[in-house]
Amino acid sequence: MSLIKNRSELLKENETLRKDALDILEAGLLAINTEKVLKAKLTINGDAFCVESLSEGGVGFQCQFFERIFFIGIGKCAFDGAKVIEDILGDKLTEGIVLDVKAGVLKRIKSYQGTHPFPSETNVSVTKQILEMVADVTEKDLVIVLISGGGSSLLCLPHEINCESLTYVTRELFEKGADIFELNTVRKHLSEVQGGGLAKLLFPAQVASLIFSDVLGDDLGMIASGPTVRDETTVADAQNILKKYKISQDLISGGFIETPKDSRYFAKVKNFLLVSNQNALEAMDEKAEELGYDSKIETDIFSGNASEAGKKIASMKIKPKSCVLFGGETTVNIKGKGVGGRNQELALSALSYVPQDMVIASLASDGWDNTPHAGAMADKAILKRAKSLKLDPKKYLEESDSFNFWKKIGDGAISTGRLGSNVSDLIIMISSK
């Protein structure tokens, strides 16, 4: 069964090339499936809980040495990950809480649905429950933390400011095009739990953090704002970012906090990088070669303004029967009152420039490009349809209204629903001749 729910509708035009593009994208999504990844990386060997990671290699934790084992799951991969943790640990697991953008029934772990991309009182309430659960941990306890994209807003405990003030700052940074490094630097210094704050609160327990990267370059300290990673940034860094984007600090003047720097809080923390967009890109590259394309991964740290990035990609010269892959994350400078996401905007910006016999597609790996669309694809058939319907891509770009463009045109938008995976965005350009 295809992960792309509207596959048949997308294949009514330019069928062969679109089908190959969708097959390649789907190979990438399957490679980062949370349950699949965890089942491959986590095992119980005798009495040892073993983790095989990209960053630390193989490490085992002897369960009999711990009086209690707790689980904390935060982010868009958390609920799916919690199901695997329950199956692997069974009755070795003492208690757990998972906070995701979706919720469901689990055997031993409490599941809660929070808000994203902006914080809420629900997120704060569940974060407090998490901290209450582990309030009395000792060196004889093991805390397993699953960290994934979306965790910056979900795991939320503002320092001496309210959610409204934190939302104001977050929204301003989003709308003015701040990148994830700038955004999360500010978030860290307005939080009791980000930037290593959670590690300090879990001290002196042993901590095993299982990390799914959605950040360019896989900077562990920036993924979900690094709740278990020693932070290198300062309050001054955060304040300078707000000054750069001319964002008032009046509402949050008393909310800044320095992140924990004392190395003792991190001595018993193991941060394991389990998956990144490289996993998806390698699977996509392999699938493209299998389909007969001359394929290459251009970069896994693609960035820039989405309204320019699509045009840039569409202007690249590539060989016939070839495929070029990009992983990364663009930004959107919101200019109007429209609705959209960076992947839909990238595809829309490519639409006016895409050559004949080419498809360009951009997809949010979590299936949710700030809207029910996961992303979109651009080709000449869609451009022709836009002209017949008198829909001008440039006007929709000027209003930051990519979602409504794709909705009105009735072709090109990619729908998957929320996928429970998240490794930044996946972009493909593919040519037939």
What is the spatial distance between Cα 394 and Cα 371, in angstroms, rounded to a whole number?
Answer: 20
pLDDT of residue 56 exceeding 90, the answer is no
Q: Report the C-alpha gap between 377 and 360 in whole angstroms.
A: 5
Q: How many residues does the chain have?
A: 433
pLDDT surpassing 80 at residue 433: no
Asked whether the beta carbons of 426 and 277 are under 8 A apart, the reply is yes
Check if the beta carbon of residue 350 is closer than 8 Å to that of residue 361. no
Secondary element (H or E) of residue 396: helix 393-398
Q: Confidence band (pLDDT; 50, 70, 90) for 23?
A: very high
Averaged pLDDT for residues 59-65: 94
CATH code of the region 7-31+278-431: 3.40.1480.10
Share of residues in the chain with pLDDT > 90 (%) = 95
What is the pLDDT at residue 54? 83
Name beta bridge partners: 311: none
Options 3.40.50.10180, 3.40.50.2300, 3.90.1150.10, 1.20.210.10; CATH of 55-275: 3.40.50.10180
Average pLDDT over residues 105-112: 97
Taking alpha carbons only, the member of 55, 347, 42, 96 closest to residue 213 is 55
Q: Which helix (H) or strand (E) holds 387?
A: helix 380-388
* Spatial contact of 233 and 195, defined as CB atoms under 8 Å apart: yes
- Rounded Cα distance, 423 and 416, in Å: 15
Sequence letter at residue 132: E
Q: What is the pLDDT at residue 335?
A: 87
The pair of three-digit structure tokens given for residue 140, joined into one six-digit string: 């004889």
Confidence of residue 321 (pLDDT cuts 50, 70, 90): very high
* Residue 35 contacts residue 291 (beta carbons within 8 Å): no
Mean pLDDT of the chain: 96
Higher pLDDT, 54 or 198: 198
Nearest partner of 406 among 345, 329, 337, 363, judged by Cα: 345
Contact present, 274 and 148 (Cβ < 8 Å) = no
Whether the pLDDT of residue 139 is over 90: the answer is yes
pLDDT band at 14 (very low <50, low <70, confident <90, very high): confident
pLDDT at 80 over 90: yes
Instruction: Give the residue carrying structure tokens 């704002």.
Output: 225
391-416 residue pLDDT tens:
999 999 999 999 999 999 999 999 99
Paired tokens of 360: 């360009």
Mean per-residue pLDDT, 16-22: 97
Mean pLDDT of 123-129: 98
The separation between CA 350 and the C-alpha centre of its own chain, rounded to angstroms, equals 23
Please state whether the predicted TM-score (pTM) of the whole model is above 0.85.
Answer: yes
Gap between the Cα atoms of 426 and 29, Å rounded:
9
pLDDT at 62 over 80: yes
Name the residue ranges covered by the structural domains of the chain: 7-31+278-431, 55-275
Give the C-alpha separation, 133 to 73, whole Å: 13
pLDDT the model gives residue 73:
98
The answer to whether residues 343 and 375 touch, using CB atoms and an 8 Å cutoff, is yes
Q: How confident is the model at residue 250 (pLDDT cuts 50, 70, 90)?
A: very high
What angle, rounded to 10 degrees, do the helices at 121-133 and 163-175 form? 120
In degrees and rounded to multiples of 5, residue 179 shows phi and psi of: -85, 175
CA 294/CA 281 separation, integer angstroms: 14
In sequence order, the β-bridge partners of residue 109 are 96
C-alpha–C-alpha distance, residues 86 and 108, integer Å:
7
Q: Is the pLDDT of residue 40 over 90?
A: yes
In the predicted model, what is the mean pLDDT of residues 300-317? Answer: 96
Return d(Cα 317, Cα 428) in angstroms, integer. 14
Same fold, 7-31+278-431 and 55-275: no
Which pLDDT does position 424 carry in this prediction?
93
Digit-coded pLDDT (tens) for 202-241: 999 999 999 999 999 999 999 999 999 999 999 999 999 9
